[in-house]
Amino acid sequence: MDFKVIATSSGSNARAGLINTDHGPIETPIFMPVGTVGAVKAVQMPDLEHDVKAQIILGNTYHLYLRPGMDIIERAGGLHKFNGWNKPILTDSGGFQVFSLAANRKLRDEGVTFRSHIDGSKHLFTPEKVVDIQRSIGSDIMMALDECPPGTAEYGYARKSLSLTERWLKRGWQHFCETEPKYGHSQAFFPIVQGCVYKDLRQESAKFVADLGAEGNAIGGLAVGEPTEVMYEMIEVVNDILPADKPRYLMGVGTPVNILEAIDRGVDMMDCVMPTRNGRNGMLFTQHGTMNMRNKKWADDFSPIQADGASFVDHIYTKAYLRHLFAAQEILALQIASLHNLAFYLWLVGEARKHIQQGDFKQWKEQMVQQLMVRL
Protein backbone atom coordinates (compact mmCIF):
# COMPACT_ATOMS: atom_id res chain seq x y z
CA MET A 1 0.00 0.00 0.00
CA ASP A 2 1.20 3.52 -0.70
CA PHE A 3 -0.25 6.98 -0.05
CA LYS A 4 0.41 10.39 -1.47
CA VAL A 5 -1.05 13.79 -0.70
CA ILE A 6 -2.35 15.43 -3.87
CA ALA A 7 -3.68 18.77 -2.59
CA THR A 8 -4.13 20.87 0.54
CA SER A 9 -6.39 23.84 1.17
CA SER A 10 -5.67 27.28 2.60
CA GLY A 11 -6.59 27.85 6.24
CA SER A 12 -7.20 24.17 6.91
CA ASN A 13 -5.33 20.94 7.62
CA ALA A 14 -7.58 19.14 5.13
CA ARG A 15 -5.85 17.24 2.37
CA ALA A 16 -6.84 15.27 -0.70
CA GLY A 17 -4.84 12.11 -1.22
CA LEU A 18 -4.64 8.77 -2.98
CA ILE A 19 -4.14 5.35 -1.41
CA ASN A 20 -3.12 2.55 -3.75
CA THR A 21 -3.86 -1.05 -2.79
CA ASP A 22 -3.71 -4.33 -4.68
CA HIS A 23 -7.52 -4.19 -4.92
CA GLY A 24 -7.58 -0.70 -6.38
CA PRO A 25 -7.20 2.97 -5.48
CA ILE A 26 -8.93 4.90 -2.69
CA GLU A 27 -9.39 8.65 -3.13
CA THR A 28 -9.23 10.48 0.19
CA PRO A 29 -10.87 11.87 2.19
CA ILE A 30 -13.06 8.79 2.15
CA PHE A 31 -16.00 7.37 4.07
CA MET A 32 -16.06 3.59 4.42
CA PRO A 33 -19.42 1.77 4.74
CA VAL A 34 -19.48 -0.74 7.58
CA GLY A 35 -20.04 -4.37 6.56
CA THR A 36 -19.88 -6.01 9.97
CA VAL A 37 -20.46 -9.65 8.99
CA GLY A 38 -19.17 -9.26 5.43
CA ALA A 39 -22.25 -7.35 4.24
CA VAL A 40 -23.42 -3.75 4.52
CA LYS A 41 -26.91 -4.08 5.98
CA ALA A 42 -29.72 -4.00 3.39
CA VAL A 43 -27.32 -3.12 0.54
CA GLN A 44 -26.06 -5.40 -2.24
CA MET A 45 -22.48 -5.22 -3.49
CA PRO A 46 -23.39 -3.93 -7.01
CA ASP A 47 -25.42 -1.13 -5.40
CA LEU A 48 -22.48 -0.25 -3.15
CA GLU A 49 -20.22 0.01 -6.14
CA HIS A 50 -22.45 1.68 -8.73
CA ASP A 51 -25.00 3.72 -6.74
CA VAL A 52 -23.22 4.47 -3.46
CA LYS A 53 -19.84 4.62 -5.27
CA ALA A 54 -18.05 3.11 -2.28
CA GLN A 55 -14.32 2.62 -2.77
CA ILE A 56 -13.62 0.53 0.35
CA ILE A 57 -15.79 -1.25 2.91
CA LEU A 58 -15.21 -2.65 6.39
CA GLY A 59 -15.48 -6.12 7.86
CA ASN A 60 -15.48 -6.97 11.55
CA THR A 61 -12.89 -9.41 12.86
CA TYR A 62 -14.85 -10.37 15.96
CA HIS A 63 -18.08 -11.15 14.11
CA LEU A 64 -16.46 -12.90 11.14
CA TYR A 65 -14.35 -15.02 13.49
CA LEU A 66 -17.52 -16.25 15.22
CA ARG A 67 -19.60 -16.53 12.02
CA PRO A 68 -18.95 -18.04 9.52
CA GLY A 69 -15.52 -18.78 11.00
CA MET A 70 -12.06 -18.75 9.46
CA ASP A 71 -12.32 -22.25 7.99
CA ILE A 72 -15.17 -21.21 5.69
CA ILE A 73 -13.54 -17.90 4.73
CA GLU A 74 -10.20 -19.58 3.97
CA ARG A 75 -11.90 -22.27 1.88
CA ALA A 76 -13.68 -19.50 -0.05
CA GLY A 77 -10.33 -17.86 -0.77
CA GLY A 78 -10.70 -14.89 1.59
CA LEU A 79 -13.43 -12.36 2.27
CA HIS A 80 -13.20 -10.70 -1.15
CA LYS A 81 -14.19 -13.93 -2.88
CA PHE A 82 -16.63 -14.92 -0.16
CA ASN A 83 -18.73 -11.74 -0.39
CA GLY A 84 -18.02 -10.74 -4.00
CA TRP A 85 -16.49 -7.34 -3.21
CA ASN A 86 -13.45 -6.82 -5.43
CA LYS A 87 -12.35 -3.46 -4.08
CA PRO A 88 -10.37 -2.79 -0.89
CA ILE A 89 -11.54 -4.07 2.50
CA LEU A 90 -10.47 -2.89 5.93
CA THR A 91 -11.01 -5.04 9.02
CA ASP A 92 -11.03 -3.84 12.60
CA SER A 93 -9.34 -5.94 15.27
CA GLY A 94 -12.27 -6.71 17.54
CA GLY A 95 -11.01 -4.16 20.06
CA PHE A 96 -14.20 -2.13 19.99
CA GLN A 97 -16.28 -5.25 20.58
CA VAL A 98 -14.09 -5.86 23.62
CA PHE A 99 -15.16 -2.41 24.80
CA SER A 100 -18.84 -2.74 23.91
CA LEU A 101 -19.17 -6.25 25.39
CA ALA A 102 -17.42 -5.32 28.64
CA ALA A 103 -19.71 -7.50 30.74
CA ASN A 104 -18.57 -10.60 28.82
CA ARG A 105 -14.80 -10.12 28.73
CA LYS A 106 -11.68 -10.22 30.88
CA LEU A 107 -8.52 -8.30 30.07
CA ARG A 108 -5.03 -9.46 30.91
CA ASP A 109 -1.57 -9.05 29.48
CA GLU A 110 -1.86 -12.15 27.30
CA GLY A 111 -4.96 -10.80 25.57
CA VAL A 112 -8.70 -10.59 26.08
CA THR A 113 -10.96 -13.49 26.96
CA PHE A 114 -14.60 -13.04 26.00
CA ARG A 115 -17.80 -15.01 25.69
CA SER A 116 -19.58 -15.13 22.34
CA HIS A 117 -22.77 -13.11 22.18
CA ILE A 118 -24.16 -15.92 20.00
CA ASP A 119 -23.76 -19.04 22.13
CA GLY A 120 -21.75 -18.06 25.19
CA SER A 121 -18.66 -19.99 24.11
CA LYS A 122 -15.33 -18.78 25.49
CA HIS A 123 -12.59 -17.36 23.25
CA LEU A 124 -9.19 -15.67 23.61
CA PHE A 125 -7.99 -12.84 21.37
CA THR A 126 -4.27 -12.13 21.59
CA PRO A 127 -2.45 -9.52 19.49
CA GLU A 128 -0.93 -12.35 17.47
CA LYS A 129 -4.18 -14.24 16.97
CA VAL A 130 -5.94 -11.10 15.75
CA VAL A 131 -3.25 -10.71 13.08
CA ASP A 132 -3.69 -14.37 12.10
CA ILE A 133 -7.47 -13.96 11.83
CA GLN A 134 -7.07 -10.92 9.58
CA ARG A 135 -4.55 -12.82 7.46
CA SER A 136 -7.27 -15.45 6.99
CA ILE A 137 -9.87 -12.79 6.16
CA GLY A 138 -7.49 -11.26 3.63
CA SER A 139 -8.33 -7.61 4.25
CA ASP A 140 -6.22 -5.00 2.51
CA ILE A 141 -5.88 -3.05 5.75
CA MET A 142 -5.86 -4.73 9.15
CA MET A 143 -5.96 -3.14 12.58
CA ALA A 144 -3.98 -3.76 15.76
CA LEU A 145 -5.68 -5.17 18.86
CA ASP A 146 -6.32 -2.41 21.39
CA GLU A 147 -8.47 -1.61 24.36
CA CYS A 148 -10.96 1.20 23.87
CA PRO A 149 -11.71 2.87 27.22
CA PRO A 150 -14.94 4.87 27.58
CA GLY A 151 -14.73 8.62 27.04
CA THR A 152 -15.57 9.14 30.72
CA ALA A 153 -12.70 6.97 32.00
CA GLU A 154 -10.63 8.39 34.86
CA TYR A 155 -6.99 9.21 34.21
CA GLY A 156 -5.63 6.24 36.14
CA TYR A 157 -7.69 3.76 34.15
CA ALA A 158 -6.84 5.49 30.85
CA ARG A 159 -3.11 5.32 31.68
CA LYS A 160 -3.30 1.61 32.54
CA SER A 161 -5.35 0.92 29.41
CA LEU A 162 -2.89 2.74 27.15
CA SER A 163 0.04 0.79 28.60
CA LEU A 164 -1.76 -2.45 27.79
CA THR A 165 -2.58 -1.26 24.26
CA GLU A 166 1.07 -0.35 23.66
CA ARG A 167 2.31 -3.74 24.87
CA TRP A 168 -0.21 -5.44 22.62
CA LEU A 169 0.84 -3.24 19.71
CA LYS A 170 4.49 -4.27 19.98
CA ARG A 171 3.52 -7.93 19.84
CA GLY A 172 0.97 -7.48 17.06
CA TRP A 173 3.40 -5.49 14.91
CA GLN A 174 6.15 -8.06 15.37
CA HIS A 175 3.82 -10.90 14.44
CA PHE A 176 2.58 -8.99 11.38
CA CYS A 177 6.19 -8.50 10.25
CA GLU A 178 6.92 -12.21 10.74
CA THR A 179 3.91 -13.52 8.77
CA GLU A 180 2.81 -13.39 5.14
CA PRO A 181 -0.50 -12.78 3.33
CA LYS A 182 -2.42 -15.89 2.28
CA TYR A 183 -4.08 -14.90 -0.99
CA GLY A 184 -1.41 -13.26 -3.13
CA HIS A 185 -2.23 -9.61 -2.35
CA SER A 186 -0.45 -7.35 0.11
CA GLN A 187 -1.90 -6.33 3.47
CA ALA A 188 -1.17 -3.21 5.52
CA PHE A 189 -1.22 -2.96 9.32
CA PHE A 190 -2.52 0.16 11.09
CA PRO A 191 -1.70 0.77 14.77
CA ILE A 192 -4.28 2.68 16.81
CA VAL A 193 -3.75 5.81 18.91
CA GLN A 194 -5.57 5.66 22.26
CA GLY A 195 -5.37 7.78 25.40
CA CYS A 196 -8.99 8.72 26.10
CA VAL A 197 -9.51 12.50 26.57
CA TYR A 198 -6.11 13.20 28.12
CA LYS A 199 -3.73 15.30 26.05
CA ASP A 200 -0.52 13.87 27.48
CA LEU A 201 -1.70 10.28 26.93
CA ARG A 202 -2.80 11.04 23.37
CA GLN A 203 0.56 12.66 22.65
CA GLU A 204 2.45 9.71 24.11
CA SER A 205 0.37 7.25 22.12
CA ALA A 206 0.68 9.20 18.87
CA LYS A 207 4.49 9.30 19.21
CA PHE A 208 4.60 5.58 20.01
CA VAL A 209 2.47 4.81 16.95
CA ALA A 210 4.34 7.20 14.64
CA ASP A 211 7.69 5.69 15.60
CA LEU A 212 6.48 2.26 14.49
CA GLY A 213 6.60 3.34 10.83
CA ALA A 214 3.48 1.49 9.71
CA GLU A 215 1.86 2.20 6.33
CA GLY A 216 -1.01 4.09 7.96
CA ASN A 217 -2.26 5.06 11.40
CA ALA A 218 -5.61 5.12 13.16
CA ILE A 219 -7.20 7.22 15.89
CA GLY A 220 -9.44 5.20 18.18
CA GLY A 221 -11.35 5.73 21.38
CA LEU A 222 -13.31 8.81 20.30
CA ALA A 223 -17.08 9.32 19.99
CA VAL A 224 -17.46 6.99 22.98
CA GLY A 225 -19.09 9.38 25.43
CA GLU A 226 -16.84 12.43 25.49
CA PRO A 227 -18.10 15.92 24.46
CA THR A 228 -17.82 16.64 20.76
CA GLU A 229 -15.44 19.57 21.24
CA VAL A 230 -13.12 17.36 23.26
CA MET A 231 -13.14 14.84 20.42
CA TYR A 232 -12.10 17.56 17.97
CA GLU A 233 -9.35 18.70 20.36
CA MET A 234 -7.96 15.17 20.63
CA ILE A 235 -7.92 14.82 16.82
CA GLU A 236 -5.87 18.01 16.58
CA VAL A 237 -3.45 16.85 19.30
CA VAL A 238 -2.90 13.51 17.59
CA ASN A 239 -2.62 14.81 14.01
CA ASP A 240 0.05 17.29 15.08
CA ILE A 241 2.22 14.22 15.73
CA LEU A 242 1.15 11.51 13.27
CA PRO A 243 3.22 11.64 10.04
CA ALA A 244 1.66 13.68 7.25
CA ASP A 245 2.84 11.23 4.58
CA LYS A 246 0.71 8.37 5.97
CA PRO A 247 -3.10 8.10 5.87
CA ARG A 248 -4.94 8.89 9.10
CA TYR A 249 -8.04 6.86 9.92
CA LEU A 250 -10.55 8.14 12.48
CA MET A 251 -12.45 5.10 13.71
CA GLY A 252 -16.21 5.04 14.23
CA VAL A 253 -17.03 8.71 13.57
CA GLY A 254 -19.70 9.85 12.82
CA THR A 255 -22.31 12.42 11.76
CA PRO A 256 -21.87 14.37 8.52
CA VAL A 257 -20.77 17.39 10.58
CA ASN A 258 -18.27 15.25 12.52
CA ILE A 259 -16.85 14.02 9.23
CA LEU A 260 -16.31 17.51 7.81
CA GLU A 261 -14.74 18.72 11.05
CA ALA A 262 -12.42 15.69 11.09
CA ILE A 263 -11.38 16.32 7.49
CA ASP A 264 -10.68 19.94 8.40
CA ARG A 265 -8.29 18.63 11.07
CA GLY A 266 -6.34 16.37 8.72
CA VAL A 267 -8.23 13.06 8.82
CA ASP A 268 -8.28 10.98 5.62
CA MET A 269 -10.47 7.94 6.37
CA MET A 270 -13.66 7.49 8.42
CA ASP A 271 -16.31 4.86 9.08
CA CYS A 272 -19.55 4.70 11.04
CA VAL A 273 -22.73 2.62 11.22
CA MET A 274 -24.80 5.81 11.43
CA PRO A 275 -25.89 6.16 7.77
CA THR A 276 -27.33 2.64 7.63
CA ARG A 277 -28.52 2.37 11.24
CA ASN A 278 -30.25 5.75 11.21
CA GLY A 279 -31.59 5.06 7.73
CA ARG A 280 -33.27 1.87 8.89
CA ASN A 281 -34.96 3.96 11.58
CA GLY A 282 -36.28 6.50 9.08
CA MET A 283 -33.69 9.27 9.32
CA LEU A 284 -32.29 10.59 6.05
CA PHE A 285 -29.27 12.85 5.76
CA THR A 286 -29.30 15.47 3.01
CA GLN A 287 -27.20 18.50 2.15
CA HIS A 288 -30.05 20.68 3.46
CA GLY A 289 -30.42 18.86 6.81
CA THR A 290 -31.97 15.70 8.25
CA MET A 291 -35.45 14.31 7.58
CA ASN A 292 -37.47 11.89 9.72
CA MET A 293 -39.37 9.94 7.09
CA ARG A 294 -41.87 8.60 9.64
CA ASN A 295 -43.27 12.10 10.17
CA LYS A 296 -46.76 12.73 8.81
CA LYS A 297 -45.58 15.95 7.15
CA TRP A 298 -44.11 13.87 4.29
CA ALA A 299 -47.33 11.90 3.65
CA ASP A 300 -48.39 14.03 0.66
CA ASP A 301 -45.00 15.46 -0.39
CA PHE A 302 -44.52 14.16 -3.92
CA SER A 303 -41.16 15.83 -4.50
CA PRO A 304 -38.05 13.63 -4.91
CA ILE A 305 -36.24 12.69 -1.70
CA GLN A 306 -33.16 14.52 -2.90
CA ALA A 307 -34.67 17.42 -4.79
CA ASP A 308 -31.63 19.27 -6.08
CA GLY A 309 -27.86 19.40 -5.99
CA ALA A 310 -26.60 15.87 -5.41
CA SER A 311 -28.65 13.30 -7.32
CA PHE A 312 -28.59 10.03 -5.42
CA VAL A 313 -30.01 6.58 -5.98
CA ASP A 314 -33.43 7.65 -4.71
CA HIS A 315 -34.19 10.43 -7.20
CA ILE A 316 -37.02 8.35 -8.65
CA TYR A 317 -38.70 7.98 -5.24
CA THR A 318 -40.83 10.65 -3.60
CA LYS A 319 -40.89 11.56 0.07
CA ALA A 320 -44.53 10.48 0.22
CA TYR A 321 -43.71 7.05 -1.18
CA LEU A 322 -40.83 6.43 1.21
CA ARG A 323 -42.92 7.61 4.14
CA HIS A 324 -45.62 5.15 3.07
CA LEU A 325 -43.08 2.31 2.95
CA PHE A 326 -41.92 3.04 6.49
CA ALA A 327 -45.51 3.30 7.75
CA ALA A 328 -46.30 -0.04 6.09
CA GLN A 329 -43.12 -1.61 7.51
CA GLU A 330 -42.05 -2.57 4.01
CA ILE A 331 -38.47 -3.89 3.84
CA LEU A 332 -37.82 -1.78 0.72
CA ALA A 333 -37.91 1.31 2.96
CA LEU A 334 -34.79 0.11 4.79
CA GLN A 335 -32.97 -0.48 1.52
CA ILE A 336 -33.85 2.89 -0.02
CA ALA A 337 -32.95 4.81 3.15
CA SER A 338 -29.65 2.94 3.59
CA LEU A 339 -28.67 3.51 -0.04
CA HIS A 340 -29.61 7.17 0.20
CA ASN A 341 -27.60 7.82 3.34
CA LEU A 342 -24.51 5.95 2.16
CA ALA A 343 -24.64 7.70 -1.21
CA PHE A 344 -24.96 11.03 0.58
CA TYR A 345 -21.94 10.32 2.81
CA LEU A 346 -19.85 9.36 -0.22
CA TRP A 347 -21.07 12.45 -2.06
CA LEU A 348 -20.13 14.61 0.93
CA VAL A 349 -16.53 13.40 1.15
CA GLY A 350 -16.28 13.64 -2.64
CA GLU A 351 -17.36 17.28 -2.46
CA ALA A 352 -14.86 17.86 0.34
CA ARG A 353 -12.11 16.45 -1.87
CA LYS A 354 -13.18 18.70 -4.74
CA HIS A 355 -13.11 21.82 -2.58
CA ILE A 356 -9.73 20.89 -1.09
CA GLN A 357 -8.37 20.69 -4.61
CA GLN A 358 -10.01 24.01 -5.47
CA GLY A 359 -8.47 25.58 -2.36
CA ASP A 360 -11.73 26.78 -0.80
CA PHE A 361 -12.52 23.87 1.52
CA LYS A 362 -12.70 25.99 4.69
CA GLN A 363 -15.32 28.38 3.33
CA TRP A 364 -17.37 25.56 1.82
CA LYS A 365 -17.20 23.52 5.02
CA GLU A 366 -18.45 26.36 7.22
CA GLN A 367 -21.47 26.87 4.96
CA MET A 368 -22.17 23.14 4.67
CA VAL A 369 -22.01 22.58 8.43
CA GLN A 370 -24.77 25.13 8.95
CA GLN A 371 -26.95 23.41 6.37
CA LEU A 372 -26.35 19.93 7.75
CA MET A 373 -27.49 20.93 11.26
CA VAL A 374 -31.00 21.85 10.09
CA ARG A 375 -33.91 19.52 10.91
CA LEU A 376 -36.30 19.53 7.98
Residue 45 has pLDDT above 70, yes or no: yes
Residues 300-335 have pLDDT tens digits of 999 888 766 555 666 688 999 999 999 999 999 999
Q: Which of 181, 262, 199, 195 is nearest to 228 (CA)?
A: 262
Which pLDDT does position 312 carry in this prediction? 67
Residues 272-287 have pLDDT tens digits of 999 999 999 999 999 9
Residues 158-182 have pLDDT tens digits of 999 999 999 999 999 999 999 999 9
Whole-number percent of the chain with pLDDT over 70: 96
- Selecting among 47, 140, 271, 314, the annotated active-site residue is 271
Measured CA to CA, the distance from residue 299 to residue 64 in angstroms comes to 40
pLDDT band, residue 215 (cuts 50/70/90): very high
Which pLDDT does position 105 carry in this prediction? 81
Per-residue pLDDT, averaged over 5-28, amounts to 98
In 258-307, DSSP assigns E strands to 269-271, 283-286, 289-292
Q: Assess whether 271 carries a catalytic annotation.
A: yes
- Selecting among 47, 51, 92, 314, the annotated active-site residue is 92
Measured CA to CA, the distance from residue 318 to residue 87 in angstroms comes to 32
Which pLDDT does position 316 carry in this prediction? 81
